[in-house]
Structure 1
Amino acid sequence: MTRLSVNINKIATLRNSRGGNNPDLIQVALDCERFGAEGITVHPRPDERHIRYQDVYDLKKVIATEFNIEGNPLEDKFCELVLAVKPAQVTLVPDALGQITSNHGWDTIINKDLLIKLIDQFKSAGIRTSIFVDPVLEMIEAAAETGTDRIELYTEPFATEFPTNPTTAVAPYRKAAFRANQLGLEVNAGHDLSLENLAFFKANVNPLHEVSIGHALICDALYYGLENTIQLYKRQLS
Structure 2
Amino acid sequence: MNPPRTSCAQCRRNIPLNASGSSFTCGCSTVLCTSCGFPIHPGYTCYYNLATTSYQVIDLSQPTSIPNLQPLLTQENNKVINHFNSTRGNLNFIKAHLIINKPLEERYLAKKNLMASQCGGANRVNEILVWHGSSEANYASIMRDGLKVGGVDGISAVHGTSYGYGVYSGKSFSTAVGYVNGSKKVILFNGLLGNNSGSAINSNSVQALNNGSTHSYTSGDISVFFTKEQVIPRFLVEYS
TM-score range, shorter chain: under 0.3
Name the structure where strand makes up a greater proportion of residues.
2
- Which structure has the bigger radius of gyration? 2
